[in-house]
Amino acid sequence: MVDVMDQVSTQAHTDAPLLRVDGVTLQYKTPDHLVTATYRVSFDIHAHERLVLLGPSGCGKSTLLKAMAGFLHPVEGKMTLKDRVIEGPGPDRMMVFQEFDQLLPWKTVLHNVTYPMQVNGVSATDAKQRALDALGKVNLSKFADAYPHMLSGGMKQRVAIARAMAMKPDVLLMDEPYAALDALTRRKMQEELLQLWDDIGFTLVFVTHSIDEAVVIGSRIVVLSPHPGQVRAEINCDHLGLDERTSPEFAQLTGRISHMLFDGQDIAH
């Protein structure tokens, strides 16, 4: 593993990591066999980082995110949030998925956003205020009383983001949130997410299999090898965003990552 580790550069952080993934192996038990989804994966996430998990389909990105959310437990290693072992789901980690049907169809946009807050003990008045603020931040104030079926895919994703942000989580976990959107909407959503991050400064873990998206969104990228996922590289790319998309440096980095993902030697163990 170590011989293929391409440590491009790691940022010098003086503060303790917010979330730590430490030697994590994740498996699924099916009736007839055991699937190893990730093998001894380690990386740290610091507060206010935008960490992207990038790798080919099936390399265990969603599995890692599910474990961070507390739905799955490592068979080896551990995950900690603020030095506490993650033992189950909690309102400190909110997840946004790729699917457009993650909203409750019988509730209005506003009630979709207030619902998790009320379940977690936020008063109705506070929940409404926080929901309206969050909907304002994703430019959906006018749709507070609409129902999900009246919204486009991109708008539903915005509601899901508003719902997660209104909870004020320590970490926002996003699993290929824009993969099912057309290219233009996707670009717009990337811009909005970065704008939202500029405004609020939250900590983001973002999963994608798109190299361009990884470089645009990430302040740091963890590149995973094919199944079972292992860390192949960590890349700092905070200086490359939407405005640098056409720059030679952007092309050089995406080319390099592409080479790493598609032409890199397979990691067997």
Ligand X SMILES: Nc1ncnc2c1ncn2[C@@H]1O[C@H](COP(=O)(O)OP(=O)(O)O)[C@@H](O)[C@H]1O
Assess 225 for contact with ligand X (CB under 6 A). Answer: no
Whole-number Å distance between alpha carbons of 89 and 117: 15
Based on the shown chain and the rule CB under 6 A, indicate whether residue 28 belongs to the binding site for ligand X.
yes
- Binding site partner of 220, from Mg ion, ligand X, none, Cβ cut-off 5-8 A by kind: none
* Sequence letter at residue 255: G
Rg (C-alpha) for the chain, rounded Å, is 19
Stretch that binds ligand X, among 30-38, 39-47, 90-98, 115-123 (CB under 6 A): 30-38
Query: Applying CB under 5 A, does 208 fall inside the site for Mg ion?
Result: no
**CB under 8 Å, gap of 24 or more: what pairs does 157-161 form?**
157/96, 157/100, 157/181, 157/189, 158/189, 158/192, 159/103, 159/109, 159/112, 159/113, 159/135, 160/96, 160/97, 160/102, 160/103, 161/96, 161/193, 161/196
Nearer to ligand X, 55 or 218 (CB): 55
Nearer to Mg ion, 25 or 62 (CB): 62
Positive or negative torsion for Cα 231, 61, 186, 173: negative
By CB under 6 A, tell whether 163 contacts ligand X.
Answer: no
Contact status: 72 vs ligand X (CB under 6 A): no
- Among ligand X, Mg ion, none, what binds residue 52 when CB lies within 5 to 8 Å by partner kind? none
Q: Which 33-92 residues touch Mg ion, going by CB under 5 A?
A: 62
Q: Is 69 in the site for ligand X (CB under 6 A)?
A: no
Query: Helix, strand or coil for residue 127?
Result: helix
Reduced to 3 states, what is the DSSP secondary structure of residue 96? strand
The CB-of-177 to ligand X minimum distance in angstroms stands at: 13
Q: In the complex, which residues of this chain contact Mg ion (CB under 5 A)?
A: 62
Q: In the complex, which residues of this chain contact ligand X (CB under 6 A)?
A: 28, 30, 35, 37, 55, 57-63, 227
